Chain A
Amino acid sequence: MYKLWATLVKDFRVLWRDGVGLALMFVMPITLVVVITDIQNSTFQLINKNKLPILLCNRDTGASGGQLVEAIEKIGMFSVVQLPQNQDEKTIGDSLRKKDALMSVVIPADFTRKVSAKSKNTAGKALTSFGLQADSSAQKDLGEIDPLTLYYNPVLQESLRLSVKGALQSALQLVESRQTLRTLYFDINEKPLPADLEGQMLNNKARINDIAVSINGSTKPPNAAQHNVPAWTIFAMFFIIMSLGGSVVREKESGSLIRLKTLPTSYLVGMLSKQITYIIVTFIQAAVIFSLGIWLFPHINLPGLELPHDLFGLFIVTLLTGWCAVSFAICVGAFSETHQQNNGFGAIAIVILAAIGGLMVPTFSMDTSLKAIANFSPMHWCLEAYYGLFLQNGTLSDVVSYLIPLVLITLAFQLLALWGLRRKNLI
């Protein structure tokens, strides 16, 4: 027991004096958690607070163009900057390149005329199908309405562009429907559609009620902190590879492992000590990051983190995540010949494991083959278990199915590390 204690003291002393390693394990991941949560939160709050600037050039002089501008403003996700009617495309392009805004919408010049013609045609067809006589003054079909043009800076992410496009499509639909409705009403009743009726017909849409489905029946919607803090805490834990893997490489390089082999103590004591030391480190990392989420985030305009109800479950998931991160670091350290190999491979491996594990892009949006590969990333199972607790308000028993593969992967890392060290006759 004294041997283990002496080894633990040694490992903590070595760690404490590794300033760069400590900075990598704490400062970088904490910065990452704050930055990513802030970015994600901005996306979450796009509609409510941080409106997306959009340049709007209405070349149409009729009523429909104005209605479309009004409908776009009413969507609520844009901060609309109206451009002069005759603004040329080059100037619009320059504004986008200068990032005055990332998108610009141009309403074509004959928008009202074509919307009006299309609505009269549609109304005429409708009346005919009702068995009524259509308005003889109906204009002949002028063809499709010229499309709205959406200019965008290529830095704009495709997902955001598609959602903007969807919102514009819905504004356009509203303008066309209103015009068709008005025409139809006038053709039947020979008087304009009353404003209140129009309002009722167009605005009384069925609402969408979104409910978060959690395991314990709570319907509280998760926020950006609930999503990001657990994910990037896992990432932070795996970052110990720089310090722990480096420490294994240093022991090999200095010949300390060889010397230890000539002493009457099993190296398993050394392995156990390293694991205990760094599992404690991962707990401190998790505690620091969770604390920031709970107490710091609300002071910097970020949503606060709420811990899961099952704190024992949280302890076990954190313990197993830390153990897996430690095992991975020892494994990489065992196979690396130099610090450069350990740090280079370690850093890249963590990013790859995070990417395929769903920390950056959710696994449900991946294609089938990537989903299958995700199962081999320990971070995937860590994330599923944390999400089960943080987002779905589950308990330990709800996430056990994620912890079993995590433990199996951890044991594989342990065996691989032992094999690697034995193969080189180091233990």
Chain B
Amino acid sequence: MVDDVLAINIENLGFHYPGNDGVTFSGLNLKVKMGQRFGLFGPNGAGKTTLLSLMTGLIGPLEGKVELLGLNVAKHNNEVNRLFGFVPQDFSFYQELSPVENLAFFGAWAGLNRHQIKTKTDELLHILGLDGVRNKQVGKFSGGMKRRVNLAIGVIHNPQILILDEPTVGVDVQTRHAIISYLHELNKNGTTLIYTSHQLSEAEGLCEEVALIDSGEIIAQNDLEALLIEHKKESLEGLFLELTGKEYRNDV
């Protein structure tokens, strides 16, 4: 099953925003195997967030197909939504509520019952070091604590695929370490990770396979080590600069 079904299968994807404002995809193909730790990298405006939005069904493709675990995202949106978890870059939760209250709400929307929510909440808050502040309003938390709450909400329903959009931006070293360790733990238990970040050194430690995207095109995709050997580079950052250039990128 794990070998047969791809976690993500994008075939011949065509997409552009109304008025061709922003990134355009044309004939894009991408496959991510089940259980992989997959990194998607690119400069600002390359199309990472748009590609994640297409994977999660937030927007629909104009051509081609996007499948998660063999299900067409556009056709089976509700079923697909049970399979993946999404950790957006923004703090997408209720600042007026505590971690427990946020998890109770998002857990219910993810389809869990009261008992499942309670069990999972206790587990997650313990693992992510939020036990002591479980009933405090999230609005008063530091950026790092909010990142952990953001992550907890994304995984409360034990998703098979976890999609993370810059999950460690703006956090201290301890929080980053804790988050990355937890992501490794999730992956060991079978969760496929789709990860984007500008923290390339962090990504080197996390990702097995990477894809570099620029101007809506996948310009390189392979096992990380194989890519570094192929391009004779010692780091992902060096590879990134070689393939995407050193010019400033403005994403309006």
Binding site for B on A (CB under 8 A): 2-3, 5-7, 9-10, 13-14, 17-18, 254-256, 258-265, 269, 425
Contact = CB atoms under 8 A, between A and B. Distances in A.
Contacts of B108: 2-3, 5-7, 265
Most chain B CB inside 10 Å of its own CB: which residue of A254, A264, A269 = A264
Interface in B73-114: 78-79, 81-82, 84, 86, 88, 90-97, 101, 104-111, 113-114
A264 B92 contact: no
A425 B96 contact: no
B interface, size bucket: 20 to 34
Nearest to B137: A17
A9 B94 CA distance: 13
B81 A262 contact: yes
A259 B97 CA distance: 16
A169 B218 CA distance: 91
B153 A259 contact: yes
Nearest to A17: B96
Given A258-B92, A262-B84, 17 more contacts: A2-B108, A2-B113, A2-B114, A7-B105, A7-B108, A13-B101, A14-B96, A254-B93, A254-B95, A255-B88, A259-B153, A262-B58, A263-B106, A263-B110, A264-B82, A265-B111, A425-B59
A10 B93 CA distance: 11
B56 interface: yes
Contact of A254 (B57, B81, B82, B92): B92
Main secondary structure on chain A at its contact with chain B?
helix
A261 B77 CA distance: 10
A261 B94 contact: no
B62 to A, nearest CB: 14
B105 A9 contact: yes
Contacts of A258: 58, 88, 92
Contacts of B97: 10, 13-14
Contacts of B58: 258, 261-262, 425
Contacts of A263: 81, 106, 109-111
A266 to B, nearest CB: 9
A264 B104 contact: no
